């Protein structure tokens, strides 16, 4: 299956069918990160019920502190 992560094309196994499963593989810790799927922010409580489809676009956003 072909998806896009932060604008880059990735080919993933069809065995990885959920957003939760994919995020679990690429992120060690979801804390402090926002996950966007096809232009919409995914709430933490909804991530487990979302299936990935060919062509989906995922954006991973992390807040940075500074001053």
Neighbours of 23 (CB within 10 A): 18
Q: How far is CA 49 from CA 17, 42, 54, 65, in A?
A: 10, 11, 17, 31
pLDDT of res. 51: 95
> What's 2-62's CATH class?
alpha beta
pLDDT per residue as tens digits for the range 9-63: 999 998 889 999 998 888 776 667 899 999 999 998 898 899 999 999 999 988 7
pLDDT of res. 56: 97
pLDDT of res. 67: 63
């Amino acid at each position: 299956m072909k998806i896009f992560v932060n604008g880059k094309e990735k080919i993933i196994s069809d065995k990885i069918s959920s957003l939760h499963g994919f995020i679990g593989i690429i992120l060690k810790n979801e804390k402090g990160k926002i996950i966007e799927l096809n232009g919409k922010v995914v709430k933490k409580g909804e991530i487990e019920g979302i299936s990935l489809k060919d062509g989906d676009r995922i954006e991973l956003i992390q807040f940075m502190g500074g001053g």
